[in-house]
């Protein structure tokens, strides 16, 4: 498997840039509010547990987290947040799945259309992109935080139940893939073996990947970054080989 999304590498970088934390906290708060609608107990709500783990990793203030949970549980009279998913094609026919959370679907749809149009992209009809992807559990591990070499880490990942693995060499990040139902089990197995986890989530992973040159990758990255600039956009997936 060759990297579930070109945006993964951008995501890992953004997670450690202090000047970006305000925007990240805002997006995380939206995610926490939405998943908290399914239950406020993280032990009974895996989506909330994953969101809280990410908030903890990024040192999101406790009061921000508590306010987001309260909002999701109906404790405040603020805007109604909804999840949205867009399918699109970008430059060089690269396929995209864009996940977001918004309080105004029409406004967000218009914003996404505008970003795509300005970057040689277009929205696709429902189902015309998703069939190219599959839902997988994805656990990100930083090799720099482990007291072991790459070969040892790969072996532990396989022993923990990994379905597949992929290295982002420049960032020294290992993505460990699982079936959706085994995500929490593999995550626990890794923690039991002393592995420090960067993030764990259910993501869309392309079944096949498009090859692209450096020029095309730069064009695609510009699109990724402009989409990420939208407050509503949470995650971006593509079939661009990295």
Could you tell me which of 137, 190, 197, 205 has the C-alpha nearest to residue 173?
A: 197
Q: Which residue has the higher pLDDT, 76 or 185?
A: 185
17: domain CATH number?
Answer: 1.10.10.200
Same domain, 194 and 214: no
- Examine residue 2 and state whether it is found in any structural domain, yes or no: no
Same domain, 35 and 60: yes
Q: Is the pLDDT of residue 8 over 90?
A: no
Q: How large is the C-alpha radius of gyration of the chain? A: 18
Q: Which residue has the higher pLDDT, 24 or 121?
A: 121
State the pTM of this model: 0.84
Same domain, 32 and 88: no
Same domain, 113 and 226: yes
pLDDT for the residue numbered 206 = 92
Classify 136 as helix, strand or coil.
Answer: strand
Q: Which residue has the higher pLDDT, 194 or 12?
A: 194
Span 207-219, mean pLDDT?
86
- Examine residue 77 and state whether it is found in any structural domain, yes or no: no
Span 39-55, mean pLDDT?
87
Task: Out of 53, 72, 91, pick the residue that ends a domain.
Answer: 72
φ, ψ for residue 34 (rounded to 5)? -70, -50
CA distance 46 to 51: 9
Q: Say if residue 18 is exposed, middle or buried (CB neighbours under 10 Å; 0-12, 13-18, 19+).
A: exposed
- Examine residue 202 and state whether it is found in any structural domain, yes or no: yes
CA distance 39 to 85: 22
Length of the chain: 242
Q: Is the pLDDT of residue 218 over 80?
A: yes
Domain region containing 120: 82-131+209-238
161: domain CATH number?
Answer: 3.30.70.980
Task: Out of 72, 105, 122, pick the residue that ends a domain.
Answer: 72
């Amino acid at each position: 498997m060759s990297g579930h999304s070109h945006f993964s590498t951008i995501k890992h970088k953004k997670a450690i840039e202090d000047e970006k934390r305000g925007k990240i906290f805002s997006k995380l708060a939206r995610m926490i509010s939405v998943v908290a609608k399914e239950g406020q107990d993280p032990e009974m709500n895996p989506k909330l547990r994953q969101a809280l783990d990410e908030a903890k990793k990024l040192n999101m203030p406790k009061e921000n987290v508590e306010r987001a949970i309260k909002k999701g549980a109906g404790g405040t009279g603020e805007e109604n947040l909804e999840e949205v998913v867009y399918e699109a094609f970008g430059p060089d026919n690269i396929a995209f799945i864009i996940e977001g959370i918004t309080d105004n679907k029409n406004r967000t749809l218009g914003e996404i259309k505008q970003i795509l149009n300005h970057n040689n992209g277009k929205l696709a009809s429902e189902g015309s992109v998703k069939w190219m992807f599959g839902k997988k559990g994805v656990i990100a591990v930083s090799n720099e935080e482990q007291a072991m070499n790459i070969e040892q880490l790969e072996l532990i990942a396989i022993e923990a139940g990994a379905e597949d693995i992929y290295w982002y060499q420049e960032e020294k990040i290992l993505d460990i893939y699982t079936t959706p139902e085994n995500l929490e089990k593999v995550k626990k197995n890794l923690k039991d073996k002393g592995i420090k986890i960067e993030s764990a989530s259910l993501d869309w992973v392309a079944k096949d990947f498009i090859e692209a040159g450096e020029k095309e990758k730069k064009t695609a990255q510009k699109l990724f970054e402009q989409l990420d600039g939208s407050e509503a956009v949470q995650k971006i997936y593509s079939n661009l080989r990295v």
